[in-house]
Amino acid sequence: MNRYRSSQRFLITNAFNAASWTFVLRVLTKTMLFLLVFNLLFAWIYPMEALGAASLYNRLWPARLRLPYGEDPTQSYNISLYNISAMFHSHILTTPKKEDEFRIVVIGDSATWGWFLENQDTLTGQLNAQHNVTNAGKRLVFYNLAYPVMSLTKDLVLLDKAMDYHPDLILWPITLESFARSRQLDHPLLQHNPEKVRRLISAYQLDLDPDDPRFVELDFWDRTILKQRQELANLLRLQSLGLAWAATGRDQYIPQDIPLRKSDFEKDLSWKDLNAPTTLDENLLALDVLAAGVQRAGQIPVIIVNEPMFISQGENSDLRYNSFYPRWAYDQYREIMTQAAQTHHWDYLDLWNVIPPEEFTDTPVHLTPKGAQMFADILRSAILQRANQLNQSGF
């Protein structure tokens, strides 16, 4: 009898185990099929822009005061990513525009973004601290949409997106370094957003190659979740850093001792790919990209500012203003910009030499807090004057 019962239990157990394994295999098969179909649907729809717009900033966390940029989130509570939608939806610009607000968007390079500066010490921070009010009672509110690495095309892409948020004025600090045509598409943000760049190339007939080999092209399989896991992780990481940003307000690491820019130079006359003095023209300088930015702004006025730079008095300073520019190149650039502004009727301010040399930090264009305040003080009256003119004209 015991042997019979043991045999029965053995048969029942085996049957149960067989059924269990069949069930497990069915679940695993269905799960794998679901994941495969989900991956294929994700690649087909490719909802990265929509996912970028799903943000906790301006909801659970306070919005950021400048576009996210950073390589070490443990020190700066910030991260660089290529999803422009996510960048903007973490930014304070996405807050609804108030009735008494005169909205000014500021684009540009790392100097305007505020390298080695706290948010309140950046150009936009200093301008907002002045609490300017127009004659019509509107508050001038400045938004920092600058982004590190110099390229007018990068500025144009960000300006194009900023137009969705109803600016009243565009402030665009520039410098020669951003004009080099051969370097326009060096920026990773552009390389990972080829369709946005191509659309602007086509719309404004820019002298840039829409098939540039630097563009990162994604095929169907590249758009799957498996291949996009790093970008998806960056989206989640940007959101998770919001709590630390909210608690500290820190979005970049600022060392106690900032290395200073060079003051002494070799006998070197090179600029970018040019090893000797030559005549600069539109084949070398991307003036068409600057013109496209003004055109994209449409009826919204644009103030173009040749930003201040460090002017050395050290060794071989008779050949070079600084580590960026030999004198022959920068002097030509200033003449070209003056002529272009007159020809195209651009609102242009040349402020290249208005800040003392001691107010620059690690590069010829990065300012100290005092330097940024001086720059803001100089710009303040010009901006307020334009805003009042717009109000009087019923803009």
Question: In terms of Cα–Cα distance, which of 330, 329, 284, 276 is closest to 306?
Answer: 330
**Is 240 a residue whose pLDDT tops 70?**
yes
Is 188 found in the same domain as 215? yes
Say if residue 55 is in the same domain as residue 23.
Answer: no
Same domain, 141 and 254: yes
Res. 77: pLDDT tops 70: yes
**Long-range contacts at 243-251 (CB < 8 A, ≥ 24 apart):** 243/61, 244/77, 245/61, 245/62, 245/64, 245/77, 245/78, 246/61, 246/62, 248/77, 249/118, 249/119, 250/76, 250/77, 251/64, 251/65, 251/66, 251/68, 251/70, 251/76, 251/77, 251/78, 251/119
Q: Provide the 3-class DSSP secondary structure of residue 360.
A: strand
Contacts 24+ apart (CB under 8 A), 383-386: 383/104, 383/127, 383/132, 383/140, 383/169, 383/171, 383/303, 384/132, 384/134, 384/140, 386/169, 386/301, 386/303, 386/347
pLDDT reading at 142 higher than 60: yes
Identify whether residues 33 and 104 lie together within a single domain.
no
pLDDT in the model for residue 11: 46
Rounded-to-integer distance, Cα 386 and Cα 348, Å: 12
Q: Are residues 166 and 33 in the same domain?
A: no
pLDDT value of residue 261: 95
Q: Are residues 322 and 246 in the same domain?
A: yes
* Residue 104, phi then psi, degrees to nearest 5: -120, 120
- 347-370: per-residue pLDDT in tens? 999 999 999 999 999 999 999 999
Confidence of residue 17 (pLDDT cuts 50, 70, 90): low
Q: Please give the pLDDT value at position 79.
A: 94
The CATH number for 313's domain is: 3.40.50.1110
Residue in the block written with tokens 């048969």: 11
Beta strand pairing call for 169-174 and 139-144:
unpaired
Q: What is the DSSP letter of 248?
A: H
Q: Do 112 and 128 have their domain in common?
A: yes
Residue 131 has pLDDT above 90, yes or no: no
What is the C-alpha to C-alpha distance for residues 195 and 191, in angstroms, rounded to an integer?
A: 10
The DSSP output letter for 141 is E
Neighbours of 258 (CB within 10 A): 13
Q: Give the pTM.
A: 0.90
Residues 30 and 55 in one domain: no
For residues 162 and 195, membership in a common domain is answered with yes
Better-predicted residue by pLDDT, 395 or 91 = 91
Q: Do 39 and 64 sit in the same domain of this protein?
A: no
Both tokens of 18, joined, read: 């067989």
145 token code pair? 């949409």
Sign of CA dihedral 201, 206, 211, 215: negative
Q: What would the pLDDT profile of 324-339 be if each residue is shown by its tens digit?
A: 999 999 999 999 999 9
Domain range for 141 is: 48-392
Tally of structural domains, the chain: 2
Confidence at residue 19, expressed as pLDDT on a 0 to 100 scale: 58
Residues 33 and 109 grouped into a single domain: no
Rg (CA), the chain: 27
Both 368 and 387 in one domain: the answer is yes
The string of DSSP letters for 55-110 reads -SBTTTBPPBSB----S-HHHHS----S-HHHHHHTBGGGSPPPTTEEEEEE--SH
343 pLDDT more than 90: yes
pLDDT band per the 50, 70, 90 thresholds, residue 212: very high
Q: What is the pLDDT of residue 6?
A: 56
Measured CA to CA, the distance from residue 115 to residue 11 in angstroms comes to 74
Q: Which of 130, 84, 150 is nearest to 379 (CA)?
A: 130
Q: What are phi and psi for residue 170, nearest 5 degrees?
A: -115, 130
